[in-house]
Structure 1
Amino acid sequence: MVIRAGVLSDTHLIRPDSRFKTQVAACFATCDMIIHAGDLTDLSVLEVFAGRPVYAVHGNMCHASVRDRYPHQLQFSIGSFVIGLTHGAGLGYDIEAALWDLFPEVDCMIYGHTHRPLCRRVGRILLLNPGSFQATGRYGAPGSYAILEAGDTLQARLFDVPQL
Protein backbone atom coordinates (compact mmCIF):
# COMPACT_ATOMS: atom_id res chain seq x y z
CA MET A 1 0.00 0.00 0.00
CA VAL A 2 1.29 3.46 -0.93
CA ILE A 3 0.55 6.40 1.35
CA ARG A 4 0.37 9.77 -0.41
CA ALA A 5 1.14 12.95 1.51
CA GLY A 6 0.57 16.43 0.14
CA VAL A 7 3.43 18.70 1.21
CA LEU A 8 3.20 22.48 1.26
CA SER A 9 4.77 25.44 3.01
CA ASP A 10 4.69 29.21 3.23
CA THR A 11 1.01 29.74 2.51
CA HIS A 12 1.16 33.16 4.25
CA LEU A 13 -2.62 33.52 4.49
CA ILE A 14 -4.64 35.18 7.23
CA ARG A 15 -7.63 33.08 6.21
CA PRO A 16 -8.23 30.61 3.38
CA ASP A 17 -9.84 32.35 0.42
CA SER A 18 -11.82 30.68 -2.37
CA ARG A 19 -8.80 30.54 -4.69
CA PHE A 20 -6.71 28.75 -2.05
CA LYS A 21 -9.53 26.27 -1.39
CA THR A 22 -9.85 25.52 -5.11
CA GLN A 23 -6.09 25.07 -5.50
CA VAL A 24 -5.89 22.79 -2.45
CA ALA A 25 -8.72 20.64 -3.81
CA ALA A 26 -6.95 20.32 -7.17
CA CYS A 27 -3.48 19.64 -5.75
CA PHE A 28 -4.27 17.28 -2.88
CA ALA A 29 -7.41 15.40 -3.95
CA THR A 30 -5.62 12.04 -3.95
CA CYS A 31 -3.61 12.57 -0.75
CA ASP A 32 -4.12 10.57 2.43
CA MET A 33 -2.50 13.20 4.66
CA ILE A 34 -1.08 16.71 4.61
CA ILE A 35 2.31 18.00 5.75
CA HIS A 36 2.68 21.77 6.22
CA ALA A 37 6.26 23.04 6.70
CA GLY A 38 5.33 26.29 8.40
CA ASP A 39 4.34 29.88 7.77
CA LEU A 40 0.71 28.90 7.51
CA THR A 41 0.23 32.19 9.45
CA ASP A 42 -3.22 31.42 10.92
CA LEU A 43 -4.86 28.21 12.18
CA SER A 44 -7.84 28.72 9.86
CA VAL A 45 -5.60 27.81 6.90
CA LEU A 46 -5.59 24.18 8.05
CA GLU A 47 -9.41 23.97 8.10
CA VAL A 48 -9.41 23.19 4.37
CA PHE A 49 -7.73 19.87 5.20
CA ALA A 50 -10.44 18.71 7.62
CA GLY A 51 -10.91 14.95 7.56
CA ARG A 52 -7.26 14.17 6.85
CA PRO A 53 -4.35 13.88 9.25
CA VAL A 54 -2.22 17.04 9.22
CA TYR A 55 1.38 17.25 10.42
CA ALA A 56 2.51 20.85 10.77
CA VAL A 57 5.13 23.08 12.34
CA HIS A 58 5.07 26.82 12.91
CA GLY A 59 7.21 29.27 10.99
CA ASN A 60 8.56 32.74 11.65
CA MET A 61 5.44 34.45 10.22
CA CYS A 62 2.86 32.50 12.23
CA HIS A 63 0.46 34.08 14.71
CA ALA A 64 0.84 33.21 18.40
CA SER A 65 -2.09 30.77 18.18
CA VAL A 66 -0.16 28.70 15.63
CA ARG A 67 3.09 28.88 17.61
CA ASP A 68 1.24 27.71 20.72
CA ARG A 69 -0.34 24.74 18.96
CA TYR A 70 2.40 23.52 16.61
CA PRO A 71 6.07 22.90 17.42
CA HIS A 72 9.16 24.35 15.76
CA GLN A 73 10.19 20.85 14.66
CA LEU A 74 8.50 17.47 14.53
CA GLN A 75 9.48 13.88 13.87
CA PHE A 76 6.87 11.29 12.80
CA SER A 77 6.48 8.17 10.68
CA ILE A 78 4.70 7.50 7.42
CA GLY A 79 4.58 3.76 6.95
CA SER A 80 8.06 2.48 7.74
CA PHE A 81 9.76 5.83 7.02
CA VAL A 82 10.76 8.44 9.59
CA ILE A 83 10.16 12.06 8.61
CA GLY A 84 11.77 15.16 10.14
CA LEU A 85 9.81 18.39 9.65
CA THR A 86 10.78 22.00 10.42
CA HIS A 87 10.19 25.39 8.86
CA GLY A 88 13.84 26.36 8.72
CA ALA A 89 13.74 29.90 10.10
CA GLY A 90 16.42 30.48 12.71
CA LEU A 91 18.66 27.69 11.44
CA GLY A 92 21.15 30.08 9.88
CA TYR A 93 22.23 30.66 6.32
CA ASP A 94 22.75 26.97 5.49
CA ILE A 95 19.45 25.40 6.50
CA GLU A 96 20.30 22.06 4.90
CA ALA A 97 23.47 21.69 7.00
CA ALA A 98 21.49 22.42 10.18
CA LEU A 99 18.90 19.76 9.30
CA TRP A 100 21.47 17.00 9.81
CA ASP A 101 21.88 18.04 13.45
CA LEU A 102 18.12 18.34 14.01
CA PHE A 103 17.23 15.01 12.43
CA PRO A 104 20.19 12.59 12.51
CA GLU A 105 18.05 9.43 12.26
CA VAL A 106 15.41 10.13 9.61
CA ASP A 107 14.66 8.98 6.07
CA CYS A 108 13.36 12.35 4.88
CA MET A 109 13.93 15.96 5.96
CA ILE A 110 11.19 18.43 5.01
CA TYR A 111 11.57 22.18 5.42
CA GLY A 112 10.29 25.46 4.01
CA HIS A 113 11.21 29.13 4.62
CA THR A 114 13.36 29.68 1.50
CA HIS A 115 10.44 29.64 -0.97
CA ARG A 116 12.72 27.60 -3.25
CA PRO A 117 11.47 24.12 -4.16
CA LEU A 118 14.01 21.34 -3.80
CA CYS A 119 13.80 17.56 -4.03
CA ARG A 120 17.02 15.57 -3.93
CA ARG A 121 18.71 12.66 -2.24
CA VAL A 122 21.87 12.84 -0.20
CA GLY A 123 22.84 9.22 0.21
CA ARG A 124 19.70 7.47 1.43
CA ILE A 125 18.15 10.67 2.86
CA LEU A 126 15.49 12.56 0.91
CA LEU A 127 15.65 16.36 1.27
CA LEU A 128 12.37 18.07 0.40
CA ASN A 129 11.36 21.72 0.30
CA PRO A 130 7.99 22.18 -1.41
CA GLY A 131 8.65 25.88 -2.02
CA SER A 132 5.98 28.50 -1.37
CA PHE A 133 2.42 27.41 -2.11
CA GLN A 134 1.46 30.99 -2.94
CA ALA A 135 2.80 32.59 -6.11
CA THR A 136 5.95 34.54 -5.30
CA GLY A 137 8.41 36.78 -7.01
CA ARG A 138 8.05 40.06 -8.77
CA TYR A 139 7.26 38.29 -12.05
CA GLY A 140 4.47 36.16 -10.62
CA ALA A 141 6.30 32.83 -10.46
CA PRO A 142 3.74 30.11 -9.72
CA GLY A 143 3.58 28.57 -6.29
CA SER A 144 4.76 25.01 -5.79
CA TYR A 145 4.07 21.92 -3.69
CA ALA A 146 5.17 18.31 -3.43
CA ILE A 147 3.61 14.87 -3.27
CA LEU A 148 5.47 12.42 -1.04
CA GLU A 149 4.75 8.72 -1.60
CA ALA A 150 5.64 6.10 1.00
CA GLY A 151 5.34 2.46 -0.02
CA ASP A 152 8.21 0.03 -0.52
CA THR A 153 10.30 3.14 -1.20
CA LEU A 154 10.02 6.82 -0.31
CA GLN A 155 9.71 9.17 -3.29
CA ALA A 156 8.67 12.77 -3.87
CA ARG A 157 7.85 14.99 -6.84
CA LEU A 158 7.50 18.75 -7.12
CA PHE A 159 4.63 20.46 -8.94
CA ASP A 160 3.54 23.99 -9.82
CA VAL A 161 0.30 25.10 -8.19
CA PRO A 162 -2.36 25.50 -10.90
CA GLN A 163 -3.42 29.10 -11.38
CA LEU A 164 -7.16 28.52 -11.03
Structure 2
Amino acid sequence: MIKAGILSDTHLTRVSVDFLDAVRRCFADCHVVIHAGDVVDVFTLDVFRDKTVYAVHGNCCNLSTQAALPQQLEFELGGFAFGLTHGNQFGRQGKEIESGLLAHFSQAACLIYGHTHKAVCHRAEGKLIINPGSFQMNCRYGNLCTYATLEIGKELRGAIHEFPAR
Protein backbone atom coordinates (compact mmCIF):
# COMPACT_ATOMS: atom_id res chain seq x y z
CA MET A 1 0.00 0.00 0.00
CA ILE A 2 1.28 3.44 -0.95
CA LYS A 3 -0.13 6.49 0.80
CA ALA A 4 0.12 9.86 -0.94
CA GLY A 5 -0.65 13.31 0.38
CA ILE A 6 -2.03 15.77 -2.14
CA LEU A 7 -2.00 19.54 -1.82
CA SER A 8 -2.35 22.57 -4.03
CA ASP A 9 -2.48 26.35 -4.00
CA THR A 10 -0.14 26.87 -1.06
CA HIS A 11 0.80 30.32 -2.44
CA LEU A 12 3.96 30.59 -0.34
CA THR A 13 7.07 32.66 -0.93
CA ARG A 14 8.61 31.38 2.30
CA VAL A 15 7.96 28.49 4.65
CA SER A 16 6.43 29.48 7.99
CA VAL A 17 6.47 27.58 11.28
CA ASP A 18 2.69 27.11 10.93
CA PHE A 19 3.13 25.60 7.47
CA LEU A 20 5.84 23.21 8.71
CA ASP A 21 3.60 22.15 11.60
CA ALA A 22 0.66 21.54 9.27
CA VAL A 23 2.83 19.52 6.86
CA ARG A 24 4.07 17.32 9.71
CA ARG A 25 0.56 16.69 11.01
CA CYS A 26 -1.10 16.10 7.64
CA PHE A 27 1.56 14.15 5.73
CA ALA A 28 3.63 12.31 8.37
CA ASP A 29 2.41 8.88 7.24
CA CYS A 30 2.60 9.61 3.49
CA HIS A 31 5.32 8.08 1.34
CA VAL A 32 4.57 10.37 -1.59
CA VAL A 33 3.52 14.02 -1.86
CA ILE A 34 1.74 15.41 -4.93
CA HIS A 35 1.53 19.20 -5.34
CA ALA A 36 -0.98 20.39 -7.97
CA GLY A 37 0.53 23.82 -8.55
CA ASP A 38 0.67 27.37 -7.27
CA VAL A 39 3.46 26.44 -4.92
CA VAL A 40 4.72 29.96 -5.94
CA ASP A 41 8.36 29.32 -4.92
CA VAL A 42 9.84 25.90 -5.70
CA PHE A 43 11.91 26.00 -2.49
CA THR A 44 8.67 25.44 -0.56
CA LEU A 45 8.85 21.81 -1.72
CA ASP A 46 12.07 21.34 0.28
CA VAL A 47 9.94 20.54 3.35
CA PHE A 48 9.11 17.23 1.62
CA ARG A 49 12.74 16.19 0.99
CA ASP A 50 12.21 12.88 2.83
CA LYS A 51 9.36 11.89 0.47
CA THR A 52 8.92 11.23 -3.23
CA VAL A 53 7.48 14.44 -4.70
CA TYR A 54 5.51 14.98 -7.89
CA ALA A 55 4.77 18.65 -8.56
CA VAL A 56 3.72 21.05 -11.32
CA HIS A 57 3.72 24.81 -11.53
CA GLY A 58 0.59 26.94 -11.59
CA ASN A 59 -0.38 30.35 -12.92
CA CYS A 60 0.83 32.15 -9.75
CA CYS A 61 4.30 30.60 -9.62
CA ASN A 62 7.37 32.79 -10.01
CA LEU A 63 9.54 32.45 -13.13
CA SER A 64 12.18 30.24 -11.49
CA THR A 65 9.47 27.84 -10.30
CA GLN A 66 7.89 27.79 -13.76
CA ALA A 67 11.30 26.88 -15.18
CA ALA A 68 11.92 24.18 -12.53
CA LEU A 69 8.51 22.46 -12.62
CA PRO A 70 6.48 21.28 -15.62
CA GLN A 71 2.97 22.53 -16.38
CA GLN A 72 1.73 18.95 -16.48
CA LEU A 73 3.09 15.60 -15.49
CA GLU A 74 2.25 11.98 -16.17
CA PHE A 75 3.61 9.35 -13.80
CA GLU A 76 2.89 5.88 -12.45
CA LEU A 77 2.40 4.75 -8.86
CA GLY A 78 1.48 1.26 -7.75
CA GLY A 79 0.68 0.23 -11.30
CA PHE A 80 -1.76 3.12 -11.88
CA ALA A 81 -1.24 5.97 -14.37
CA PHE A 82 -1.67 9.54 -13.09
CA GLY A 83 -2.21 12.86 -14.82
CA LEU A 84 -1.26 15.98 -12.84
CA THR A 85 -1.65 19.65 -13.74
CA HIS A 86 -2.72 22.86 -12.05
CA GLY A 87 -5.62 23.08 -14.48
CA ASN A 88 -5.71 26.78 -15.36
CA GLN A 89 -4.96 25.99 -19.02
CA PHE A 90 -8.34 24.20 -19.24
CA GLY A 91 -10.53 26.93 -17.75
CA ARG A 92 -11.56 28.63 -14.53
CA GLN A 93 -14.28 26.34 -13.16
CA GLY A 94 -14.00 22.73 -11.99
CA LYS A 95 -16.29 21.27 -14.66
CA GLU A 96 -14.33 22.96 -17.50
CA ILE A 97 -11.04 21.82 -16.04
CA GLU A 98 -12.25 18.27 -15.50
CA SER A 99 -13.46 18.03 -19.12
CA GLY A 100 -10.02 19.14 -20.26
CA LEU A 101 -8.31 16.65 -17.97
CA LEU A 102 -10.46 13.75 -19.17
CA ALA A 103 -9.60 14.54 -22.79
CA HIS A 104 -5.91 15.29 -22.23
CA PHE A 105 -4.99 12.45 -19.84
CA SER A 106 -7.21 9.81 -21.44
CA GLN A 107 -5.03 6.88 -20.32
CA ALA A 108 -4.73 7.94 -16.66
CA ALA A 109 -6.63 6.18 -13.87
CA CYS A 110 -6.36 9.25 -11.62
CA LEU A 111 -6.51 12.93 -12.55
CA ILE A 112 -5.26 15.56 -10.10
CA TYR A 113 -5.63 19.32 -10.42
CA GLY A 114 -5.84 22.51 -8.34
CA HIS A 115 -6.55 26.13 -9.28
CA THR A 116 -10.16 26.43 -8.08
CA HIS A 117 -9.40 26.22 -4.33
CA LYS A 118 -12.46 23.94 -4.10
CA ALA A 119 -11.84 20.38 -2.99
CA VAL A 120 -13.38 17.49 -4.92
CA CYS A 121 -12.88 13.74 -4.92
CA HIS A 122 -15.14 11.75 -7.22
CA ARG A 123 -15.18 9.38 -10.16
CA ALA A 124 -16.02 10.27 -13.75
CA GLU A 125 -15.70 8.08 -16.81
CA GLY A 126 -14.06 5.40 -14.66
CA LYS A 127 -11.32 7.73 -13.40
CA LEU A 128 -10.69 9.10 -9.93
CA ILE A 129 -10.59 12.91 -10.02
CA ILE A 130 -9.05 14.83 -7.14
CA ASN A 131 -8.68 18.53 -6.44
CA PRO A 132 -7.24 18.86 -2.91
CA GLY A 133 -8.48 22.44 -2.55
CA SER A 134 -6.16 25.01 -1.01
CA PHE A 135 -3.57 24.19 1.66
CA GLN A 136 -3.21 27.65 3.19
CA MET A 137 -3.30 29.06 6.68
CA ASN A 138 -5.85 31.69 5.57
CA CYS A 139 -8.02 30.47 2.71
CA ARG A 140 -9.58 32.87 0.28
CA TYR A 141 -13.06 33.14 -1.20
CA GLY A 142 -14.71 31.61 1.86
CA ASN A 143 -13.46 28.11 1.02
CA LEU A 144 -12.30 25.65 3.65
CA CYS A 145 -8.58 24.95 3.87
CA THR A 146 -8.23 21.39 2.65
CA TYR A 147 -5.92 18.68 1.36
CA ALA A 148 -6.36 15.12 0.09
CA THR A 149 -4.93 11.71 0.76
CA LEU A 150 -4.76 8.82 -1.65
CA GLU A 151 -4.31 5.15 -0.84
CA ILE A 152 -2.88 3.13 -3.68
CA GLY A 153 -3.32 -0.62 -3.36
CA LYS A 154 -5.42 -2.95 -5.46
CA GLU A 155 -7.60 0.10 -6.11
CA LEU A 156 -7.36 3.86 -5.69
CA ARG A 157 -9.09 5.43 -2.70
CA GLY A 158 -9.05 9.17 -2.21
CA ALA A 159 -10.32 11.36 0.60
CA ILE A 160 -10.59 15.09 1.30
CA HIS A 161 -9.58 16.41 4.71
CA GLU A 162 -10.18 19.78 6.32
CA PHE A 163 -7.10 21.67 7.46
CA PRO A 164 -6.44 20.65 11.06
CA ALA A 165 -6.97 23.09 13.88
CA ARG A 166 -3.94 23.83 16.05
Give the TM-score range, shorter chain: over 0.9
Q: Give 4+ residue runs of structure 1 displaced > 3 Å after superposition.
A: none
**C-alpha distance in 1 between matches for 2:3 and 2:113:** 18
Pairing 1:66–2:65 present: yes
**C-alpha distance in 1 between matches for 2:82 and 2:118:** 20
**C-alpha distance in 1 between matches for 2:156 and 2:27:** 18
Structure 1 unmatched runs, 5+: none
What does residue 133 of structure 2 align with?
131
Corresponding residue pairs, total: 162
Contact 1:23/1:163 (<8 A) preserved: no
Deviation track 1:3-58 (CA, whole Å, cap 9, x = no partner) reads 00000000001011000000000000000010000000001210110111100000
**C-alpha distance in 2 between matches for 1:16 and 1:163:** 18
Structure 2 unmatched runs, 5+: none
Contact 1:142/1:163 (<8 A) preserved: no
- The letter of the residue matching 1:89 is N
Question: Pairwise mapping of residues 16-31 of structure 1 onto structure 2 (< 5 A)?
Answer: 16-31=15-30
**What SS class does the counterpart of residue 88 from structure 2 fall into?**
coil
- The letter of the residue matching 1:120 is H
Paired residue for 1:145, among 129, 144, 147? 147
TM-score (norm 1): 0.95
Paired residue for 2:105, among 103, 106, 111? 103
Give the percent of matched residue pairs that are identical in Structure 1 and Structure 2: 45
**C-alpha distance in 2 between matches for 1:15 and 1:29:** 21
What does residue 75 of structure 1 align with?
74
TM-score (norm 2): 0.94
Deviation at 1:123, TM superposition (A): 3.5
**C-alpha distance in 2 between matches for 1:114 and 1:35:** 17
Deviation at 1:138, TM superposition (A): 5.5
Give RMSD over aligned pairs: 1.2
What does residue 89 of structure 1 align with?
88
User: Could you say if the C-alpha distance between residues 138 and 67 of structure 1 is closer, same or farther in structure 2, counting changes exceeding 3 Å?
Assistant: closer
What does residue 163 of structure 1 align with?
165
Deviation at 1:124, TM superposition (A): 1.9
